[in-house]
Structure 1
Amino acid sequence: MEVSFQKVIEWFTFYDGEGKQIKRKTEVRIDPLTGESSRLVFDPGTTFTPPDYTEVAQQTEGVNCPFCPENILKMTPVFPKEISESGRIFAGEAILFPNLFPYSKHNGVVTFSGNHYVKLDEFTPLMIKDAFIACQTYIKRVMLHDSRAKYASINWNYLPYSGGSIIHPHMHVIVSESPTNYQSKIQTEVEIFEARYGANYFTSLYETEKKLGERWIGEHGNVAWIHAFAPKSHNDFIAIFPKAMSIHDVSENDWLDFSESIQSIFAVLKEQGFSSFNMTLILPDESSGTSLHVRLIPRFTIGMLETSDMNFFQVLHQEPLTYKIPEKIAEKARNLFLKSKKSSF
């Protein structure tokens, strides 16, 4: 089953002070699953300069950071015995422990390593793989002991622009009885899609995008990367695990494939001047019959006033805006993906 892509072109005509006509295009794109729209707007040539957190990292590391090695086993809380006999979950350098300020019935925090400030190009596949394995272990144990908690996600706020309040790199893993709005919408729509077409939506999206090639980035093992047709921000990268329908279907090799291939996504963010991002990995309800997928968008500020990248359109109208054309960003990412694959995958 091929996924279809729809868009509407709007033109705004006006004049400059000398009477010269100006035309600006807005492209309204419709998400092929949810029917929600997002807008590609005129790009005035916006450039982005990544902030350097070296000085603030020096001020907040060590004794001032609960996640640094000298503090983490003393300052972080512990799980009940049924989740972990030792109170925490360890995988390589990654350490997972309860969130003191939980967003859900079950909420763990995992640190990647003892390093307090890790730049985008300093994350290693091993650091990322171990952190996700720790999250997977936590989710499995929670679901084993709490059958009502079936909505799981792994979430990464990287650096302050993303909403991250601690420089030390870490992620949140959430398991809840109640889905988020995004989880609920996705589950409902994939069920409708499957009932209508007899096909898995994310498998169909993967196959369609790979065939078209316009927003296709690349594939490494059991993980494929594309750019969203109707993006939620100025970049919107989607990773699909087409063979993984539950948390139990993801192997250590799959996590390694993901951790190696995400290096190319980090590279294309860095090339554009982005240094911060939000990422969510959605683990489907086992009964839904849909694939695990990831969304990753950059976060930034604009200009001398450090204006937020979010305004009334995104926050109140719930409609994303982007200056960047998805197909051009996909081309950038595809080239970097192929370059990385030749050199290191």
Structure 2
Amino acid sequence: MAIKFTKNEEWFTFFDANGNNIERKIEVRYDPLTGETSRVLHGHGLALKSEDYTIAGEQTGGENCPFCSENILKMTPIFKQEIASEGRIFHENAIVFPNLFPYSKHNGVVIFSNQHYVRMQEFTMDMIKHAFMAAQKYILSVLETDSSSSYVSINWNYLPNSGGSILHPHLHVIVSESPTNYQANVMEKAAEFKQKTGKEYFTELLKIEKEMDERWIGEYGNFAWNHAFSPKSHNDFIGILPDAFGIQDITEKDWEDFAKGLTAIFLLLEEQGYPSFNLSLQLTVNPSLKQPIHVRLIPRFSIGQLGTSDMSFFQTIQQEPLSVFSPEEICKLARKHF
């Protein structure tokens, strides 16, 4: 059972108002792990709507924001003593506290900037590294006290287009007894791949993508990046840490390398005009589901003068991601920043 990159081409033929023939190609691509499909559309112009939250930042920051420095220790909740002896977890400038409206049995929020509104190009490697190290400390603390929670992720909604309801930079750390659909599907298929091949899927994916050099982007230290063959959006970056199988395996150097790659991707997102993104870093706890740690990042945006959402019935109901860019072309752009 080798990793296969399969796609079908469909053609739509029609005429313009003057009777001239028009042909449009659609690629239906199959995810090499799950078999789920996405569609790469050709010939579309994508008019991104630029977003500047400077005024919104001034209106919502400072005394109006529970995550700003003057409020965070007064307005945010605290953990049970067995999770954090001081009520919250601190690492450099990052602070972790409970989510007031949790998504799972354990849900920490990581605040990692004294600046309320941070533009994408303003994020530094240290800011990112310390935020994820704080998340790591929280996860380790939870796992010491609750062995029943096996499904872990570190998530980032950046700015309102991504679903972020507060401008102030923050992460969501999810530790749950129940997997998300993504986690369940990926873990099941990765376990099948391991049973049939004796290899970890994401390690093998990294190896093959690097050899093919079609969607390979680059690497810093042990953290490598490529673009998904069957993307979940108009960009879909996959970062893989092949030597780390659990949260305890990630070193400070790994977080530095991760942050360096992430800031490079931010430069590409800025270049393309994307104002926002969703990111999720997936971790495994159960030894029987052992897989290298991986992260996915997709851009979020609005389109045109109406500020139209980038999500339509295709994504929300049909569960079929769309991309107007070829993954292979995006990789050529991304490599310049690595």
TM-score of the superposed pair, with normalisation by structure 2: 0.98
SS at 2:141's partner residue? helix
**Aligned mates of 2:42, 2:229 — CA distance in 1:** 17
Name the structure 1 match of 2:51: 51
- Are positions 1:78 and 2:78 aligned together? yes
Computed over aligned residues only, the root mean square deviation of the Cα atoms, in angstroms, reads: 0.9
Give the conservation status (yes or no) of the 8 Å contact 1:2–1:204.
no
Deviation at 1:8, TM superposition (A): 0.2
SS at 1:17's partner residue? coil
SS at 1:332's partner residue? helix
SS at 1:70's partner residue? coil
Give the conservation status (yes or no) of the 8 Å contact 1:245–1:286.
no
Give the conservation status (yes or no) of the 8 Å contact 2:49–2:304.
no
SS at 1:167's partner residue? coil
Deviates more, 1:63-72 or 1:281-290: 281-290
**Aligned mates of 1:179, 1:170 — CA distance in 2:** 22
Give the conservation status (yes or no) of the 8 Å contact 1:43–1:324.
no
**Aligned mates of 1:43, 1:267 — CA distance in 2:** 25
**Aligned mates of 2:185, 2:139 — CA distance in 1:** 21
Deviation at 1:2, TM superposition (A): 5.1
Equivalent residues in 2 for 1:169-188, closer than 5 Å: 169-188=169-188
1:251-293 alpha-carbon deviations (Å, 9 max, x no partner): 1110011011111100010000001000000002341121100
**Aligned mates of 1:228, 1:280 — CA distance in 2:** 14
Deviation at 1:42, TM superposition (A): 2.6
AA at the equivalent of 1:326? P
| Structure 1: tracts of 5 or more residues without a match | 338-345
SS at 1:295's partner residue? strand
Deviation at 1:47, TM superposition (A): 3.0
Name the structure 1 match of 2:130: 130
SS at 1:231's partner residue? coil
1:264-323 alpha-carbon deviations (Å, 9 max, x no partner): 100010000001000000002341121100000000011111111000010001000010
**Aligned mates of 1:54, 1:43 — CA distance in 2:** 34
Equivalent residues in 2 for 1:158-169, closer than 5 Å: 158-169=158-169
1:101-138 alpha-carbon deviations (Å, 9 max, x no partner): 00000000001121101111100110101110111111
Name the structure 2 match of 1:193: 193
AA at the equivalent of 1:3? I
Name the structure 2 match of 1:235: 235
**Aligned mates of 1:177, 1:78 — CA distance in 2:** 21
The runs of at least 4 aligned residues of structure 1 exceeding 4 Å deviation read none
AA at the equivalent of 1:96? V
Deviation at 1:45, TM superposition (A): 2.1
**Aligned mates of 1:50, 1:254 — CA distance in 2:** 33
Identity between Structure 1 and Structure 2 (%): 58
Name the structure 2 match of 1:289: 290
Deviates more, 1:43-52 or 1:267-276: 43-52
Give the conservation status (yes or no) of the 8 Å contact 1:2–1:208.
no
AA at the equivalent of 2:130? D
AA at the equivalent of 2:335? R
AA at the equivalent of 2:128? I
SS at 2:11's partner residue? strand
1:76-122 alpha-carbon deviations (Å, 9 max, x no partner): 00001111110001111000000000000000000112110111110
**Alignment coverage as a number of residue pairs:** 337
Deviation at 1:3, TM superposition (A): 2.0
Give the conservation status (yes or no) of the 8 Å contact 1:47–1:273.
no
Name the structure 1 match of 2:303: 302
